[in-house]
Amino acid sequence: MYYVNDKPHVGHAFTTVAADVMARWHRLNGEKVFFLTGTDEHGEKNQKAAETNGLTPQQYVDGLANTYKDVWKCLNISYDAFIRTSSPSHEAAAAKFIEMMNKSGDIYKGEYEGWYCVPDETFFTDFQLAGGKCPDCGREVKKVKEESYFFRLSRYQQRLLDHYSDNPEFLSPELRSGEIKNRVKAGLRDLSITRASIKWGVPFPLDRSRTVYVWVEALVGYLSGIGWPNGDSGSIWPADTHLVGKEINWFHSVIWPAMLMSAGLPVPKRIFAHGWWTVDGKKMSKSIGNIVDPVGMVKKYSADPFRYFLIREKPLSEDGDFSDKAMVTRINGELVDDLGNLVSRTVTLASRFNGPISGKPELESYLRLERINGLMARFDPFGALEEIWSFIRSTNKYVNDKAPWRLQGSELANALYNLAEACRIISILISPFMPDTSAKINSQLGVGAGMLEDCRFGEFRGRITKGEHLFRKVA
């Protein structure tokens, strides 16, 4: 879910495309998938932005939520549900969840005093501030002191540490687990979970003169988004993976599991905190003017090359620098020269061949399907694409070595068989990453969409028809 205070940028696109790739891959493997995304809409930031724009908060977030849906459509995102935290069903679910935490004896009334960053909707202690400013975004903070209800987060310190130890994949990737563990070992403070001055939020069920802290009720959106506490949510929860940006890892890896433990509900199996995209080495910022618009990228390069670049350019766990130059290099090299030319040469030669396309598998040993599937299971689509491209390059080498344009009869039929089957399998493997491109390959091969279990050399049953080149060179 995304906090809607502006339209999506390339960072939002990266998270969502990565989630979409993983969802499509698991569907490809015949697994039941529920892919949830949506918008986190409450809080002081949106309340003030609405006032500035002469709108009600609901009107303001309605427009932004629709913008997110439009961008996800542009990027061909195959989500199963889109949760909005301003919906009545979410409000009811959040209230129910808080009541369950209260029954566990984990909510009490006290007084809160701390430094608050409005843009990040986050409180900080004196020691956490960086030069008197927000340590995350560098902006001004304000001193807040008010009566508040608290969640006994401190009660769950050891239980969280035990959970991390017993479930080593919960904190993913491993490179970020140490920071979370050390912060929890250093001690947890109880969390202020209500606001008296902010009206745009979910009413606190124990005292409706207050609203629930946005970072508490928004997390419940992962449950309300699947229909909890009603419907068939029990067959979906706990989530296999929450995919989040590393800047909000603390909320998802510490506060969220502690809240679930308090409510007596299962904890997600994994929180994967991915890295950032920077531009010229700097974090994207409106004030700097280096925001990358995903819609603009799609208009310029189309959706599939943009999706491919986001996953191919850097590992999910690491930071990377975004540039048009790097995207053009990927498009012209790997998409046009490697994949596009392979398919073009295959269908051109096969469409001229009159006999049956059959033979013995000679390329199957280059296909490391088990390794690809293992990388995807470990949430490493970057590594999986590297393996897929290794097979594509091996197939291109096969074309160059065999020189099928010089062959005849059964030798030509055998070479074309291996190329046609390789292209069919490649189409399946790339379908989570580039669904439109996969459909175009299938159309030229004359085959239907396949599943992961179909990624083995067998009888080629397509009827090949040469079509347009999959990609065009860009400057």
pLDDT for res 287: 65
Long-range CB pairs of 115-122, under 8 A, 24+ apart, other chains included: 115/141, 115/142, 115/143, 115/144, 116/141, 116/142, 116/143, 116/144, 117/141, 118/44, 118/45, 118/48, 118/142, 119/5, 119/45, 121/3, 121/43, 121/44, 121/45, 121/214, 121/215, 122/215
Number of H helices, E strands in the chain: 18, 15
Question: Tokens standing for 83?
Answer: 């949760």
pLDDT digits (tens, 9 = 90+) for 115-171: 888 777 777 777 678 888 988 778 888 888 889 999 999 999 999 999 999 999 999
The string of DSSP letters for 312-324 reads: HSS-TTS-EE--H
CA distances from 409 to 341, 345, 357, 460 (A): 24, 18, 10, 17
Asked if residue 307 has pLDDT above 90, the reply is: yes
pLDDT digits (tens, 9 = 90+) for 159-202: 999 999 999 999 999 999 999 999 999 999 999 999 988 999 99
Phi–psi pair at 76, nearest 5 degrees: 65, 45
Q: Domain 323-454 falls in which CATH fold?
A: Isoleucyl-tRNA Synthetase; Domain 1 (1.10.730)
Give 341: exposed, middle or buried? Use CB within 10 Å, 0-12, 13-18, 19+. Answer: middle
pLDDT digits (tens, 9 = 90+) for 357-395: 999 999 999 999 999 999 999 999 999 999 999 999 999
User: Which residues are paired to 112 by β-bridges?
Assistant: 146
User: Which residues are paired to 108 by β-bridges?
Assistant: 150
Q: Comparing C-alpha atoms, which of 443, 426, 445, 422 is closest to residue 434?
A: 426
CA distances from 321 to 174, 301, 359, 367 (A): 22, 18, 45, 31
Domain boundaries, the chain: 323-454
Residue 467: DSSP 8-state: -
Asked if residue 82 has pLDDT above 90, the reply is: yes
With beta carbons less than 8 A apart as the criterion, state whether 144 and 112 touch: yes
Rounded distance, CA 225 to CA 236, Å?
11
